[in-house]
Amino acid sequence: MKSKPKFAVLGAGHGGRAIAAYLAAIGHDVTLFNRTPENIQTIKQTGGIFLTFTADLEEHLFPTDMEVHKLGRRHEHLLFPETEKIVEEDLRYIFGKIKTISSDIEKVLKDRDIIMVAVPARGHRYMAEKCAPYLKDGQLVLLNPGRCFGALEFCEIVNDYYEGKKKPDVTIAEAQTLIYACRRTKPRNVRIFAVKNSVGLAAIPSKNASHAMGLLKDVYPQFTPKDSVLETSLGNLGGIFHVPTTILNATRIDMRHNFRYYAEGITKHAASIIEDVDKERMAIARAMDVEAISARRWLHQTYDSEGADLYEAIRNTYAYRKIESPKTINHRYIWEDVPTGLVPLSSLGKQLDVSTPMIDSFIHLATSAFKKDFNIDFFKIGRTMEKLGLAGMNIDEIKKFVKTGNRN
């Protein structure tokens, strides 16, 4: 493998755009896949993605000196062609030129060293099924992030595909969280609000985490190796933050009130509830003898936020200040975070005899809220121990399985 790995980025949502634009902007060979062709049409016409950020982020974003453009009126037609929006004074941009932009997975995966899967976790199954036939020896697949047990689900699907055939020697890894706080802004743009200080990374098989780190160290020095995907999975906070915040603000969202999701949506009472949900996640980690830090400490580690309790820590998290409320609760904060965040925790808790009344409450509430429109049961469609192939295993058996990726 050459010194500069070639990347495929799967998914052109918030995270996928940010990763693709960043990697391309710093000079990597990047291809971009999106399931729905319409969503990448403008990027395809432009030949890449504009990445915007405020000046203070420049140093965090780019490890080496790069020419970063100060956004001025003359560039507005590129960045904001659709609006008359007043551009913020300290906004900067950089352009990431993408080699191949396509909905043809074979084309996108051709000749790649690293496959960055940056889709809501509900899409991991789809991506695994799409990728499986084209995987090659030595490749790294990194889920950004895995939510709870994403890498395990991906692994199971690949194993199933190669059942009876020779499986390529692939490292499947997951990040504990997305490296950026970011939002797609315009059809060809993405904005990064914050870069996380430190993001856990674990691989299946476990020992390959160092291989993954070696490949990524130049582009993402923030990744830090973890013993196993149990640590990254049980350390994911998507379900912990998003589900309670969305449900406790469901009527405001339904009424189309605009509010800042974290800054105004998480009041003292809401933070108290989130802390109790988080305690159940930590109890499960403790039962598994897996290292896990509280949501409050996670904010400190990730964003340098200080706070005596979770409420204060959230209020002191700069990355959250500008993030707006969703326009509907029919949103990935429920669709992604209930089935791939809370349900696996609840299911694992049950298997370990760790009770999860708060987690279960939010699964029930989300199921009930979606009843009229979708009539689905999140407990059933979510990542349960059964679906992950972990049902009936004891702690040692689970640990051995995630370490090797093999049952025997």
Tell me which residues are annotated as active site: 242, 337
Q: Which of 125, 186, 252, 286 binds its own copies (CB under 8 A)?
A: 252
Q: Which tokens is 309 given? A: 């309790």
Matching residue, tokens 């989300």: 366
Query: Is residue 355 involved in binding its own copies (CB under 8 A)?
Result: no
Choice between 328 and 406, CB closer to its own copies = 328
Q: Which of 255, 289, 353, 396 binds its own copies (CB under 8 A)?
A: 255
**Phi/psi at 330 (5° precision):** -80, 70
Contacts 24+ apart (CB under 8 A), 394-400: 395/287, 395/288, 395/289, 395/352, 398/230, 398/288, 399/228, 399/230, 399/288
Q: Does 153 bind its own copies (CB under 8 A)?
A: no
DSSP secondary structure string for all residues of 259-311: -BTTTTT--HHHHHHHHHHHHHHHHHHHHTT-----HHHHHHHHH----SSHH
Residue number, 155 or 277, with CB nearest to its own copies: 277
Euclidean distance between CA atoms 269 and 183, whole angstroms: 27
Which pair of structure tokens corresponds to residue 249? 């603000």
Residue of 249, 302, 317, 346 that binds its own copies (CB under 8 A): 249
Task: Restricting to residues 68-97, name those near its own copies by CB under 8 A.
Answer: none
Residues 322-351 that bind its own copies (CB under 8 A): 329
Q: Does 258 interact with its own copies (rule: CB under 8 A)?
A: no
The strands making up 199-204's β-sheet, listed across from edge to edge, are 100-102, 30-33, 7-10, 114-117, 140-143, 171-175, 199-204, 223-225
DSSP state of 236: -
Size of site (CB under 8 A) for its own copies = 33
- Out of 276, 312, 324, 377, name the contact with its own copies by CB under 8 A: 276
Q: Which is nearer to its own copies, 291 or 324 (CB)?
A: 324
Three-state secondary-structure class, residue 49: strand
264 touching its own copies, by CB under 8 A: yes
> Closest separation between CB of residue 296 and its own copies, Å?
13
Q: Which is nearer to its own copies, 68 or 263 (CB)?
A: 263
- Choose the binding region for its own copies from 4-12, 134-142, 292-300, 354-362 (rule: CB under 8 A): 354-362
Question: What is the binding site for its own copies (CB under 8 A)?
Answer: 247-252, 254-255, 257, 264-270, 272-273, 276, 309, 329, 357-358, 360-362, 364-365, 368-372
